[in-house]
Amino acid sequence: MEDKKTKVCANVEKAAASAGDKPIHKRRAHYSGKYPRKFEEKYKERNPEKYKDTVEKVISKGSTPAGMHIPIMVAEILEHLDIKEGQKGLDCTLGYGGHTTEILKKLNHTGHLYSLDVDSIEIVKTKQRIADRGFTDDDFTAIHTNFRNIDQVAAQYGKFDFLMADLGVSSMQLDNPERGFSYKFDGPLDLRLDPESGISAAERLKELSQDEIENMLIENSDEIYAGEIAKAIADAKRKRESIETTMELKALVEKALVRLPKDVREDETRKALARTFQALRIDVNSELDVLYEFLEKLPDVLNPGARVCVLTFHSGEDRLVKKAFKSGLKDGLFEEVSEDVIRPGRDECYINPRARSTKLRWAIKA
């Protein structure tokens, strides 16, 4: 019996050795129900090139496929950038590469597009995604840096004929529980756009006093229940309760609003959760400071006649862009700016609900 067992083991080892470096097939995790619910179970949505039909069905129902980002207001951006072949452009927020791909199509393998991204994880994936779509190093350069550093990029590569910035968080970040961007999924309370830099949201909350948390919620997301939420967080810190995960922070926000009337509590709590996570993300990544620095440097990285498009997603961002463009027009830095904000159409908002809060402003360098 022992000889037979030994022989079987030897055959297994021989087969494994002969396989060399061949990847070992791993069975995917099974999920309960008809459709997968968890991010890691949605293997079809996370492989859009292989499962195009599945991705199209998800989008047609007004949802964003897991791990994928649908570019917003593409037609409007291309219209106002008015890209010409041979031009040199800068996409300040590469993300999933949706806007970048459409811009590269307009350039038609002429000129060059430089794209920036602070996310060290996603930039590698998107760079390969762009290459798989037929664009080479002659067409496109991806640069891992924050868009506050556009002056450094221009110093190395020269000024640009057009520039765009999409200030929204990519769906790949929102949907991945490991990144901690959403209260809808259980994961570490991180919220960093670049997980290799700075401190997590959990660590940031440990640093802030009750008053500082309240001010952060008001300044970054106009949170109407800022006082109640800040008190709930501060009380939890005093009791040494853990605030290390998205669900633990969610529970504190829910606790803070538990005395609201039942008929409005659910809706108000959902909105407060979205605003709280937004405010904390903006704080952790210094997003308003980054935007202010970007807008201050913007005119100096543009060639005369260069066109700019900026997509914003909340009132604080839009106010900064509007003020900077109007100030630039008054000072003669821009020859023309958008008088009114441009919003996505109803059809786009149905297909991509995450587009609803988007605002587009444009400017032309003098």
Least confident of 134-148, 150-164, 185-199: 185-199
Q: pLDDT by residue (tens digit) across 203-234?
A: 999 999 999 999 999 999 999 999 999 999 99
Task: Provide φ and ψ at 25, rounded to 5°.
Answer: -70, 130
Joined together, the tokens standing for residue 97 give 């590469």
Does position 202 have pLDDT exceeding 70, yes or no?
A: yes
Does position 35 have pLDDT exceeding 60, yes or no?
A: no
Element (H, E) at 232: helix 226-238
Closest C-alpha to 81, from 338, 363, 337, 313:
363
Write down the architecture of domain 74-171+288-365 according to CATH.
Answer: 3-Layer(aba) Sandwich (3.40)
Q: pLDDT by residue (tens digit) across 277-306?
A: 999 999 999 999 999 999 999 999 999 999
pLDDT at 351: 85
pLDDT at 49: 57
Closest C-alpha to 87, from 331, 280, 305, 318:
305
Q: pLDDT by residue (tens digit) across 325-335?
A: 999 999 999 99
Residue 196 vs residue 99, higher pLDDT: 99
- Per-residue confidence band for 352, with pLDDT thresholds at 50, 70 and 90: confident
* Average of per-residue pLDDT across 312-341: 95
Calpha distance 318→341 (Å, rounded): 9
Residue 127 vs residue 68, higher pLDDT: 127
- Whole-model pTM: value is 0.78
Which segments of the chain are extended strands (E)?
88-91, 112-117, 140-144, 160-166, 302-312, 334-337, 359-365
User: Could you tell me the fold of the domain covering 194-284?
Assistant: DNA polymerase; domain 1 (1.10.150)
* Average of per-residue pLDDT across 107-129: 94
* Average of per-residue pLDDT across 76-91: 98
Locate the domains of the chain by residue range. Answer: 34-60, 74-171+288-365, 194-284
